[in-house]
């Protein structure tokens, strides 16, 4: 992995919101795998072998006259990612009791101290969806629970679930770099009950969980909800994020088909996290 070459797009954006969120969603749909948000826009990364010079033609927001978006492009080698990360990452606090920080940040006096070095993985807590899912975990009782973190990225949600008392956590991501990075972060945070797997919902056969956390995107969630329902124990809880407020009816309709009912949701900059229960 050390010789992986990435293409970096440095987007300058006005207005910053909701433009950044829309652009990230569209770029993610065509293969961009990591994003760093900053005061002027975002930096987006895609592996060079997956990159095509004309691929931004598929990104509709770039041709929308209501948004002012310019960008520069360059190659970046994998080993330079940490320097990029350190220049842009600031620790975040969730619910005043949980901090997500990098190894080079000083430890704060919080109940849940999570140290993450994401490299090219998604899920630092900065994006609205990850932040809301962290808040959901803080707001609910995880003591003695068996948990699935689907689309685990850096593993930050799995790590907090264990810190909150989960006795068993499976973290699954389809991306190899996320899989490797999550294993590193689990070890860095002294995880004892977290198992990390590379794959998709096909790994869920015959598994049972009290809580399922899935922060992916709308289309994958719609495809995977039937599998989640099969895996949940009676009275189980399903936390979903990675989609917009206007997608809630569609997600809820699919959940209802499999006996899951809407309970509540959080909203941040039009992104939502939603809780469903059996």
Annotated binding site: 130, 151, 173, 215
Residues 182 and 172: their CA atoms lie apart, in Å, by 9
Residue set of the binding site for S-adenosyl-L-methionine: 130, 151, 173, 215
- The region that residue 166 occupies, defined by phi over 0 for left and psi between -120 and 50 for alpha, beta otherwise, is beta
What is the chain's percent helix, strand, coil content, to nearest 5? 35, 35, 30
Residues 216 and 223: their CA atoms lie apart, in Å, by 11
Residue count (the chain):
278
* Look-up of token digits 């959901």: 136
DSSP state of 184: H
Among candidate residues 207, 224, 215, 34, the one with its CA nearest the CA of residue 137: 215
| Peptide linkage before 18 cis (omega within 30 of 0) | yes
Residues 277 and 207: their CA atoms lie apart, in Å, by 18
The phi, psi pair for 231, rounded to 5°, reads -90, -15
| Peptide linkage before 246 cis (omega within 30 of 0) | no
DSSP state of 153: T
* Look-up of token digits 């095509």: 52
């Amino acid at each position: 992995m050390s010789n992986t070459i990435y293409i970096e797009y440095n987007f300058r954006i006005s207005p910053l919101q909701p433009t950044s969120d829309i652009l990230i969603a569209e770029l993610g749909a065509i293969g961009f795998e990591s994003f760093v948000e900053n005061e002027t826009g975002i930096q987006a990364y895609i592996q060079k072998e997956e990159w095509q010079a004309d691929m931004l033609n598929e990104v509709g927001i770039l041709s929308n006259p209501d948004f002012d978006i310019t960008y520069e492009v360059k190659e970046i080698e994998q080993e330079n990612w940490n320097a990029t990360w350190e220049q842009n990452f600031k620790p975040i606090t969730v619910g005043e009791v949980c901090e997500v920080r990098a190894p080079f940040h000083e430890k704060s006096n919080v109940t849940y101290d999570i140290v993450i070095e994401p490299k090219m993985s998604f899920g630092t807590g900065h994006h609205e969806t990850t932040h809301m899912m962290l808040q959901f975990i803080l707001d609910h009782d995880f003591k003695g629970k068996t948990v699935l973190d689907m689309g685990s990225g850096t593993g930050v949600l799995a790590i907090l679930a264990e810190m909150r008392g989960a006795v068993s956590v499976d973290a699954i991501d389809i991306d190899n770099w996320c899989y490797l990075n999550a294993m590193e972060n689990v070890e860095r945070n002294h995880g004892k009950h977290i198992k990390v797997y590379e794959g998709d919902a096909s790994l869920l056969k015959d598994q049972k969980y009290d809580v399922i956390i899935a922060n992916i995107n709308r289309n994958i969630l719609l495809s995977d909800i039937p599998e989640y329902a099969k895996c949940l124990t009676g009275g189980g809880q399903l936390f979903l994020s990675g989609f917009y407020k206007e997608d809630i009816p569609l997600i809820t309709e699919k959940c209802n088909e499999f006996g899951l009912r809407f309970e509540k949701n959080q909203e941040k900059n039009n992104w939502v996290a939603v809780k469903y229960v059996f």
